[in-house]
Amino acid sequence: MRISFVTVAMVVALGSIALADGSGDPTAVKNENSKYLDKEGSPTFKVVPDGTVDWYTYSGYRRYHSECHVCHGPDGMGSSNAPALKDSLKTMSYGDFLGVVASGRKSVSTSQDNVMPAFGDNPNVACYMDDLYVYLRARANDAVGRVRPAKHEDKPPAAQQAEDSCMGKR
Protein backbone atom coordinates (compact mmCIF):
# COMPACT_ATOMS: atom_id res chain seq x y z
CA MET A 1 0.00 0.00 0.00
CA ARG A 2 1.39 3.41 -1.02
CA ILE A 3 -0.66 5.68 1.24
CA SER A 4 1.86 7.17 3.61
CA PHE A 5 1.52 9.05 6.86
CA VAL A 6 2.63 12.19 5.00
CA THR A 7 -0.21 11.78 2.49
CA VAL A 8 -2.78 11.39 5.23
CA ALA A 9 -1.29 14.31 7.18
CA MET A 10 -1.57 16.50 4.08
CA VAL A 11 -5.22 15.52 3.65
CA VAL A 12 -5.91 16.27 7.30
CA ALA A 13 -4.13 19.62 7.01
CA LEU A 14 -6.20 20.46 3.94
CA GLY A 15 -9.27 19.53 5.93
CA SER A 16 -8.61 22.37 8.33
CA ILE A 17 -8.97 24.93 5.55
CA ALA A 18 -12.67 25.69 5.45
CA LEU A 19 -14.48 27.96 3.04
CA ALA A 20 -16.98 30.27 4.65
CA ASP A 21 -19.74 29.42 2.16
CA GLY A 22 -19.59 25.64 2.52
CA SER A 23 -19.35 23.77 -0.73
CA GLY A 24 -20.02 26.95 -2.74
CA ASP A 25 -21.16 27.30 -6.33
CA PRO A 26 -20.70 23.91 -8.01
CA THR A 27 -20.47 25.30 -11.53
CA ALA A 28 -17.49 23.85 -13.38
CA VAL A 29 -15.26 26.65 -14.64
CA LYS A 30 -12.09 24.70 -15.37
CA ASN A 31 -11.13 21.29 -16.70
CA GLU A 32 -7.78 19.81 -15.68
CA ASN A 33 -7.11 16.40 -17.25
CA SER A 34 -10.87 15.70 -17.40
CA LYS A 35 -11.37 16.69 -13.74
CA TYR A 36 -13.77 19.61 -13.42
CA LEU A 37 -13.11 22.36 -10.89
CA ASP A 38 -15.25 25.18 -9.53
CA LYS A 39 -14.14 28.81 -9.15
CA GLU A 40 -12.48 27.95 -5.79
CA GLY A 41 -10.48 25.11 -7.37
CA SER A 42 -12.50 22.39 -5.64
CA PRO A 43 -13.50 19.28 -7.61
CA THR A 44 -17.00 19.42 -9.01
CA PHE A 45 -19.33 17.55 -11.32
CA LYS A 46 -20.29 17.99 -14.94
CA VAL A 47 -23.58 16.67 -16.26
CA VAL A 48 -24.50 17.36 -19.87
CA PRO A 49 -28.11 17.72 -21.07
CA ASP A 50 -28.35 14.09 -22.25
CA GLY A 51 -27.53 12.93 -18.70
CA THR A 52 -23.92 11.91 -19.32
CA VAL A 53 -21.86 12.49 -16.18
CA ASP A 54 -18.15 13.05 -15.85
CA TRP A 55 -15.94 10.09 -14.90
CA TYR A 56 -15.41 11.27 -11.30
CA THR A 57 -19.15 11.51 -10.58
CA TYR A 58 -19.62 7.98 -11.91
CA SER A 59 -16.61 6.65 -10.02
CA GLY A 60 -17.84 8.41 -6.86
CA TYR A 61 -21.21 6.70 -7.23
CA ARG A 62 -19.47 3.32 -7.45
CA ARG A 63 -17.15 4.03 -4.51
CA TYR A 64 -19.95 5.41 -2.36
CA HIS A 65 -22.01 2.26 -2.87
CA SER A 66 -19.07 0.00 -2.08
CA GLU A 67 -17.86 1.79 1.07
CA CYS A 68 -20.23 4.44 2.43
CA HIS A 69 -23.85 3.45 1.88
CA VAL A 70 -23.95 0.90 4.72
CA CYS A 71 -23.88 3.74 7.28
CA HIS A 72 -24.96 6.79 5.27
CA GLY A 73 -27.82 5.11 3.44
CA PRO A 74 -28.54 4.64 -0.24
CA ASP A 75 -27.53 7.53 -2.46
CA GLY A 76 -26.41 9.73 0.43
CA MET A 77 -29.90 9.93 1.94
CA GLY A 78 -28.80 9.08 5.50
CA SER A 79 -29.86 6.42 7.98
CA SER A 80 -30.50 6.00 11.68
CA ASN A 81 -26.74 5.45 12.07
CA ALA A 82 -25.31 8.36 10.10
CA PRO A 83 -26.33 11.70 8.54
CA ALA A 84 -27.51 12.32 5.01
CA LEU A 85 -24.39 13.30 3.12
CA LYS A 86 -26.61 14.68 0.38
CA ASP A 87 -27.55 17.38 2.91
CA SER A 88 -24.11 17.72 4.52
CA LEU A 89 -22.46 18.55 1.20
CA LYS A 90 -24.74 21.57 0.80
CA THR A 91 -22.70 23.36 3.48
CA MET A 92 -19.48 21.34 3.87
CA SER A 93 -16.35 22.61 2.16
CA TYR A 94 -14.02 20.36 0.21
CA GLY A 95 -11.33 20.75 2.87
CA ASP A 96 -13.72 19.84 5.67
CA PHE A 97 -14.91 16.80 3.71
CA LEU A 98 -11.34 15.56 3.24
CA GLY A 99 -10.58 16.06 6.91
CA VAL A 100 -13.65 14.19 8.15
CA VAL A 101 -13.20 11.28 5.75
CA ALA A 102 -9.47 10.97 6.49
CA SER A 103 -9.58 11.51 10.26
CA GLY A 104 -13.13 10.55 11.23
CA ARG A 105 -15.44 12.43 13.54
CA LYS A 106 -17.05 11.86 16.90
CA SER A 107 -20.26 13.62 17.86
CA VAL A 108 -21.53 12.94 21.35
CA SER A 109 -24.71 14.32 22.88
CA THR A 110 -27.07 13.25 25.63
CA SER A 111 -29.30 11.49 23.11
CA GLN A 112 -26.74 9.80 20.87
CA ASP A 113 -23.13 8.90 20.31
CA ASN A 114 -22.17 9.04 16.61
CA VAL A 115 -18.73 8.02 15.48
CA MET A 116 -17.43 8.03 11.94
CA PRO A 117 -14.23 6.03 11.66
CA ALA A 118 -11.17 7.43 9.92
CA PHE A 119 -10.71 6.19 6.35
CA GLY A 120 -7.39 7.91 5.61
CA ASP A 121 -5.57 4.58 5.70
CA ASN A 122 -8.13 2.68 3.62
CA PRO A 123 -7.00 2.90 -0.02
CA ASN A 124 -10.48 1.98 -1.26
CA VAL A 125 -11.64 5.29 0.20
CA ALA A 126 -8.51 7.46 0.45
CA CYS A 127 -7.58 6.99 -3.21
CA TYR A 128 -11.05 8.12 -4.28
CA MET A 129 -11.90 10.99 -1.90
CA ASP A 130 -12.27 13.43 -4.80
CA ASP A 131 -14.61 11.04 -6.59
CA LEU A 132 -16.75 10.63 -3.47
CA TYR A 133 -16.86 14.39 -2.95
CA VAL A 134 -17.85 15.02 -6.58
CA TYR A 135 -20.63 12.41 -6.50
CA LEU A 136 -22.04 13.66 -3.19
CA ARG A 137 -21.80 17.26 -4.36
CA ALA A 138 -23.79 16.32 -7.47
CA ARG A 139 -26.39 14.61 -5.24
CA ALA A 140 -26.51 17.66 -2.92
CA ASN A 141 -27.24 19.89 -5.91
CA ASP A 142 -29.78 17.49 -7.46
CA ALA A 143 -27.60 17.18 -10.56
CA VAL A 144 -27.84 13.38 -10.45
CA GLY A 145 -30.64 11.18 -9.22
CA ARG A 146 -30.74 8.23 -6.87
CA VAL A 147 -29.88 5.69 -9.55
CA ARG A 148 -26.61 4.67 -11.16
CA PRO A 149 -25.76 7.18 -13.89
CA ALA A 150 -26.72 5.58 -17.20
CA LYS A 151 -24.00 7.32 -19.21
CA HIS A 152 -20.56 8.53 -18.22
CA GLU A 153 -17.38 9.86 -19.76
CA ASP A 154 -14.57 7.41 -20.31
CA LYS A 155 -11.99 7.03 -17.57
CA PRO A 156 -9.29 9.61 -18.28
CA PRO A 157 -5.64 8.51 -18.34
CA ALA A 158 -4.92 10.92 -15.44
CA ALA A 159 -7.48 9.09 -13.28
CA GLN A 160 -5.89 5.73 -14.07
CA GLN A 161 -2.41 7.08 -13.30
CA ALA A 162 -3.55 8.58 -9.97
CA GLU A 163 -5.28 5.33 -9.03
CA ASP A 164 -2.24 3.23 -9.92
CA SER A 165 0.05 5.52 -7.94
CA CYS A 166 -2.20 5.60 -4.88
CA MET A 167 -2.71 1.83 -4.92
CA GLY A 168 1.02 1.22 -5.28
CA LYS A 169 0.89 -0.08 -8.85
CA ARG A 170 3.43 0.86 -11.45
Distance, in Å, from the CA atom of 78 to the CA atom of 148, rounded to the nearest integer, reads 17
The CATH label, of 3.30.450.20, 1.10.1740.10, 1.10.760.10, 3.30.70.580, for the domain at 5-159 is 1.10.760.10
Q: Which helix (H) or strand (E) holds 12?
A: helix 5-15
Amino acid of residue 105? R
**C-alpha distance from residue 161 to each of 62, 110, 127, 167 (Å):** 18, 46, 11, 10
pLDDT tens for 22-70 read 578 999 999 998 999 999 999 999 999 999 999 999 999 999 999 888 8
pLDDT tens for 68-89 read 888 888 878 878 788 888 888 8
User: Helix 94-103 to helix 5-15 angle, to the nearest 10 degrees?
Assistant: 140
Write the CB contacts of 150 (distance below 8 Å, at least 6 apart in sequence). Answer: 51
Which pTM does this prediction carry? 0.82
